Amino acid sequence: MSSLDLRNLKINVGGKPIVKDFSLTVPKGEVHALMGPNGSGKSTLAKALAGHEDYEIVGGEAFLNGQNILEMETDEISRAGLFMAFQYPSEIPGVSIANFIRAALTARLAENEELDAAQYYRRLYEKMDLLKIDRKFTARSVNEGFSGGEKKRCEILQMAMLQPQIAIMDETDSGLDIDALRIVSEGVNTMRGPNLGILLITHYQRLLEYIVPDRVHVMWDGRIVRSGGKNLALELEEKGYDWVKEEVAAV
């Protein structure tokens, strides 16, 4: 079955172990939430899986549809079907959103294939309308001068256009007001289906009211310490992360 399959991952940042023995499988068609307090290693995991150089994977295995992504370059991982919605996406001055997404789609074509421009813009506008992004944004430089909400919507727009098999969404709810949160969630929900698996990294239960997960995992000190259904998120909200810490300490 196609999925994201992480086995006993160990990740260092600057020589310091941050993710310690992390295992998780996200099958296509499911939404998994990964929750945890600041510093538990959630974002480190996300960036490392997307091939960022500063994050050193020192142990374990990671497979996307059976392909070992630890042996792949950042751009290859993306083309293999893994999408990362960043918490703090970069600003790219002088590169328009339309050109940027077009380059990403073109990278997925065979060398002699060309993107049909008319068809491309039709699809782009359709997704922009869905995410309530002004069509004028196509000419704007990627993320430059965008509000936090606009940046997150731009990430989801890219996700909708690139149609990944697995998407990791890193703190997508941070910095969003309630309206933006609703729009982003609706966008994600329309993409849900048997062909997409989502790993939703979040601090708060709030996002999970809009994007209801199939499974919830709690990360603490670099590993998953608890997994359960969607009610686990509610329990966390009520009792706080200290509850998990205490439970872990008791074991």
Partner 1 sequence: MANANTSTLERESPAATNSIASTEGFDHGLERLENAPQWLLELKRSQWREFLALPMPTPKAEAWRFARTGNLSLEGYQLPTDLPDADKKSVLESSHLFESFAGKMVFANDQLLEQTAATQEGLIWSPLSNAMSEHGALLRKFFMTFTPDLGSEKFQALHAALFSNGSFLYVPAGMEVSLPFVAYHTACGQGTAVFPHTLVIADAGAKVHLVDIFQSARKDTKNFACGMASIFAGPGAQVSYQAIQEWNLETLSFHLNTVSAERDSNVETIMVSLGSRQARNEQHISLNGPGGNVDNYSLSVPIGNQEVDQRTLQSHKAPSCRSNLLYKNALQDDSRTVFSGLIKVAELAQQTDAYQTNRNLLLSNSAEATSLPGLEILANDVKCSHGATSGKLDEEQLYYLLSRGISRKRAQELLVFGFFEEITSQLENEELREHLNSWIGRKFHATPPTKNLEG
Q: Which residues bind partner 1 (CB under 8 A)?
A: 50-53, 73-79, 84, 86, 89-95, 99-101, 103-104, 107-108, 141, 158, 162
Tell me the closest approach of the beta carbon of residue 139 to partner 1, in angstroms: 10
CB 156 within 8 A of CB 188: yes
Distance CA 170, CA 151 (A): 13
User: 6: closest CA among 49, 39, 43?
Assistant: 49
Cβ proximity to partner 1: between 158 and 205 the closer is 158
Q: What is the 3-state secondary structure (H, E, C) of 142-185?
A: ECCCCCHHHHHHHHHHHHHHHCCCEEEEECCCCCCCHHHHHHHH
Tell me the closest approach of the beta carbon of residue 110 to partner 1, in angstroms: 14
Quick one: residue 169, left, alpha or beta (phi over 0 = left, psi -120 to 50 = alpha)?
beta
Tell me the closest approach of the beta carbon of residue 216 to partner 1, in angstroms: 26
Cβ proximity to partner 1: between 13 and 162 the closer is 162
Tell me the closest approach of the beta carbon of residue 50 to partner 1, in angstroms: 5
Tell me the closest approach of the beta carbon of residue 84 to partner 1, in angstroms: 6
Cβ proximity to partner 1: between 95 and 225 the closer is 95
Cβ proximity to partner 1: between 13 and 92 the closer is 92
Q: Which amino acid is at 79?
A: R
Report strand pairing: 92-96 vs 141-142: antiparallel
Cβ proximity to partner 1: between 52 and 132 the closer is 52
